[in-house]
A and B are shown apart, each in its own frame.
Chain A
């Protein structure tokens, strides 16, 4: 520890330290500004009445569109953003599946490929799911489709946020 620091070394360190401090003072606000979306918490989505009487829900999946309010930076459409849920009954129980493919996030469709009857099919990489959302083994997705939280009020279906696996 008693190693001597030469005058030149000392001045170099002081100069470097001062320059570093000034540079950091300049860069910090800009970097903080740039990474703000990472540090911000996303707003929670509430339950939406999708205007569908529960007794109309059958075994065959139907695409139900509903609007959620979401603020996307400066873009905040008053009418909201349209989301889709695949709603059906499984063993009598109502289920609402997310259409977002678990492989790489494209959108799946029910019974849309004549080769794969009665399956959810994703056109991007031919990902497939059975009716209950379970991924078909040997196709790209490695997990079943996400489910939406659902509630029933006055005989009508309410759809909430996606259940995080």
Chain B
């Protein structure tokens, strides 16, 4: 076959096979394989969370083709991309509902790790990395919520910022930092956008990389 020939040609020069073998070929113990014990489906939650995150990244990239993080145009651009472009409601819907699904799956994955005791020695470090991922994902949810710049977005952010402001001593400064000023306004929208599409995804990618490398290093935890 043609594809085979192309692959062989590249492989001969770059020796790709060992690389993807390392990624794809690994032991899946019986106790985590739903084909053996159906209840093992709980071990799929982590992978499903990652799958949803991939959907979020893709749909987010496509939404960014049309979205504008500016108080005058943000809502108009969302309205335009949702109602005037083909499949706009579907692409925005993927990002909107996927955000909730990602948090739910992440929570289920955390519960699975907790109740199977998978966080114990030697995997404590990966548990911590997982909790950092949780924090980043909540941050992505919080910052993304403001971007449509409608009433719900605005007041949800006000509430979130006030909650952050209730931290003793430094709360006031956290609130000003989040808002980029004294009110939820133009600067807030722009910095939430920057956090949502640059800072937090960058942090997420690095943490996910560590998370996956550690899983491969340490293997899947044993049966109960």
Contact = CB atoms under 8 A, between A and B. Distances in A.
A30 B73 contact: no
Contacts of A74: 68, 73, 76-77, 79-80
A30 B58 contact: yes
Interface in A7-57: 26-30, 32-34, 36, 39
Interface of B is mostly: helix
B91 A30 contact: yes
A75 B81 CA distance: 12
Given A34-B62, A36-B85, A74-B80, A29 B73 contact: no
A29 B59 CA distance: 9
Contact of A32 (B65, B68, B73, B86): B86
Given A30-B58, A74-B73, A39 B91 contact: no
B86 A30 contact: no
A75 B59 contact: no
B113 to A, nearest CB: 27
B62 to A, nearest CB: 4
A92 interface: no
Interface string A53-96: 00000000000000000000111000000000000000000000
A141 to B, nearest CB: 33
Contacts of A73: 66, 77, 80
Contacts of B90: 29, 33
A50 to B, nearest CB: 30
B88 A33 contact: yes
Nearest to B62: A30
A39 B87 CA distance: 13
A30 B88 CA distance: 8
Interface in B98-130: none
B87 A32 contact: yes
B197 interface: no
Contact of A26 (B55, B73, B79, B80): B55
B174 interface: no
A33 B76 CA distance: 17
Contacts of B80: 73-74
B94 interface: yes
Interface of A: 26-30, 32-34, 36, 39, 73-75
Interface of B: 55, 58-59, 62, 65-66, 68, 73, 76-77, 79-81, 85-88, 90-91, 94
Given A33-B62, A73-B80, A74-B80, 8 more contacts: A28-B87, A30-B62, A30-B94, A33-B81, A33-B86, A34-B62, A74-B73, A74-B76
24 contacts: A26-B55, A26-B58, A27-B58, A28-B87, A29-B90, A29-B94, A30-B58, A30-B59, A30-B87, A30-B91, A32-B87, A33-B81, A33-B85, A33-B88, A33-B90, A33-B91, A34-B62, A36-B88, A39-B86, A73-B66, A74-B76, A74-B77, A74-B79, A74-B80
